[in-house]
Amino acid sequence: MKTKIRTREELKELCDEFRRVGKRVGLTSGAFDILHAGHVEYLEHARSLVDVLIVALNSDTSVRGYKRPDRPINGELERAEVIAGLESVDYVFIFGEQNNNINVELLKPDVYIKAGDYKPEALSSKALVDAYGGRVEIVPFKAGFSTSGVIEKISSMLKTSEGEQLAYEQRPAVFVDRDGTINEHVEYLSDPAQFTEIAGSFEALKTLRALGYRVVIVTNQPGIGLGYFSKEDFFVVNREMMRQASARGCFFDKIYFCPHSKGDSCQCRKPNPYFIDRAVKEMNIDLVNSFVIGDMTSDVQFGKDAGCGTILVQSGRGGDDGLYSATPDFVVADLQAAANLLASRKLSA
C-alpha cells in the first residue's frame, strides 16, 4: 500500500512512462477526510474512465485554507494511507495548493476528473487541460453522503436532548506548554534523543491529574512551517515524551500543536486562544477554574485572552522572550512548583 503513496515529482516521471506505453492517466483530487460510500463510488467511477487513477490529496494546511479551521479530522498521512488502500486508486500524493493548476501542468493527465454538479468551464484548470489536448470529466456526487454530514451526526450523538456533552464530565484543565516547561528547551526540537524531561515534570502532571485537572499540552511548532523539520519529526518527539511519561504513570488528555510560523497569520498559534476554545467544546472544560502554565509571555497572554489563570515558570525561557506585556497570576520555579501551588489552593479552598 505504501508504494502507492508517492511525491508529485515521482509521479510526473511515471505519467510520462504510462503515456509512452499507451495508458490513459486520470487525475482527481480532494480532502477525503472521513471516507464514506460517496467517496468510494466516486473513485470507482473515476477509475472506470482511465487505465491509471492518481489522487491528489489536499494537505492539512490546504484543507484548513478552504474549509473550517478545525478540519481535517484526520491528518494527511492517515488520509493518504486510507485512500491508497482502495483498489480503485493506483497512486496518491499530497499537495499544498488550493487548486490543481500545478498538478495538471506537471502530470498532464489524459482525463482530469472532478466531483460536483458544475460545468467544466467553471474550473480554473480547464484551459490548462485543453492546452495539451486532455479532457475534463465531471462526476456527480452521490446523493445523501457528505463528510460534513458525518461530522454533524457524530456531534449530535455526543449530546443529550438538552445539548449536554455525554463524552466528558465538566472539569478544569491545565493547558501546559511543552518545550521549556515539560522538557528542556532545545531550539526547533526534532530529534527524540534530545528530549530531556525537566526534573519533576511528569510527577507534577500526575499530581495535577490527581487533583482533577485535565492535562492538555498546547505547543507552537514554527519549525514545521519554516521547513526545519516535518510533522512526522514532531510526532516522533511526542512519542518519546509519551513513552517516558507513561513509564512514570503520567498521561495526557490531549496534545494540540500549531505547525505555522509567525508569518502565516494563522488562527491556532499561541497566544490566539483557538486551542483553548476548541478544548472547551471537545472536552467540556470548566474554563473559569483552568490554568495555563508555560515559560513564555505568549503563554501568559494565551491564558489571559482565554480567561484562564496563568502561571509563568522560570524554567526554559522563563518569560525572557519579551513578546507580550501580560502579567502572570503566579511566577514559580518550574512545573513541580506550579503543581504544588495548585494543590495548596485546592486544599485551602
Helix axes 297-306, 274-283, angle to 10 degrees: 50
Q: Are residues 31 and 146 in the same domain?
A: yes
Residue 101 included in any domain: yes
Say if residues 184 and 196 touch (Cβ distance below 8 Å): yes
**94 and 27, same structural domain?**
yes
Residue 300 has a CB neighbour count (10 Å cut-off) of 27
Asked if residue 117 has pLDDT above 80, the reply is no
- Give the chain's domain count: 2
Is the model's pTM score more than 0.95? no
Distance in angstroms (rounded) separating the CA atoms of residues 82 and 348? 52
Nearest to 28 by CA among 59, 3, 52, 60: 52
Helix (H) or strand (E) segment spanning residue 28? strand 25-30
Structure confidence by residue, pLDDT tens digits, 141-173:
766 667 766 766 666 665 544 444 445 789 999
Asked whether residue 164 is assigned to any structural domain, the reply reads no
* Same domain for 75 and 187: no
Query: Cα separation of 272 and 262, whole Å?
Result: 12
Query: What is the spatial distance between Cα 280 and Cα 256, in angstroms, rounded to a whole number?
Result: 13
> Does residue 207 share a domain with residue 128?
no
- Indicate the SS3 state at residue 52: strand
- Which residue range(s) make up the domain with 124? 2-151
7: in domain: yes
b (16+ CB within 10 A) / e for 61-74: bbbbeeeeeebbeb
Which set of grid coordinates corresponds to residue 60?
492539512
Comparing CA positions, the residue from 342, 314, 301, 344 lying closest to residue 172 is 342
Q: Which residue type is seen at 202?
A: F
Say whether pLDDT at 87 is over 90.
Answer: yes
Least confident range from 31-45, 106-120, 148-162, 178-192: namely 148-162
Rg (CA), the chain: 24
Alpha helices in the chain (DSSP H): 8-20, 37-48, 60-66, 76-84, 101-107, 126-131, 147-157, 201-210, 222-225, 231-247, 274-283, 297-306, 335-348
pLDDT reported for residue 207: 95
Residue 256's pLDDT is: 96
185 and 309 in one domain?
yes
Last residue of a domain, one of 151, 186, 218: 151
The pLDDT of residue 218 is 98
- Domain limit, last residue, from 90, 121, 151: 151
Q: Determine if the peptide bond prior to 72 is cis (ω within 30°).
A: yes
195 and 237 part of one domain: yes
pLDDT per position as a tens digit, 94-113:
999 888 999 999 999 999 99
> How many angstroms separate the CA atoms of 204 and 340, rounded?
8
Is residue 162 assigned to a domain?
A: no
* 26 close to 52: Cβ distance less than 8 angstroms: yes
- Scanning the structure block, which residue is given the C-alpha cell 494546511? 61
Query: Do 321 and 249 share a structural domain?
Result: yes
Residue 12's CATH number: 3.40.50.620
Say if 144 falls within a structural domain: yes
Average pLDDT over residues 121-136: 88
Q: Are 16 and 145 members of one domain?
A: yes
Q: What is the CATH number of the domain that holds 261?
A: 3.40.50.1000
pLDDT in tens, 295-330: 999 999 999 999 999 999 999 999 898 899 999 999
**18 bridge partner residues:** none
Statement to judge: residues 85 and 14 lie in one domain: yes
Can you list the positions of beta strands (E) in 97-232? 111-115, 135-139, 173-176, 214-220
Q: What is the pLDDT of residues 276-295, one digit of tens each?
A: 999 999 899 999 999 999 99
Question: Do 116 and 260 belong to one domain?
Answer: no
Same domain? 185 vs 112? no
Distance from C-alpha of 28 to C-alpha of 58, rounded to nearest angstrom: 11
Domain presence at residue 115: yes
341 within a domain of the structure (yes/no): yes
Last residue of a domain, one of 121, 151, 181: 151
* 127 and 82 co-located in one domain: yes
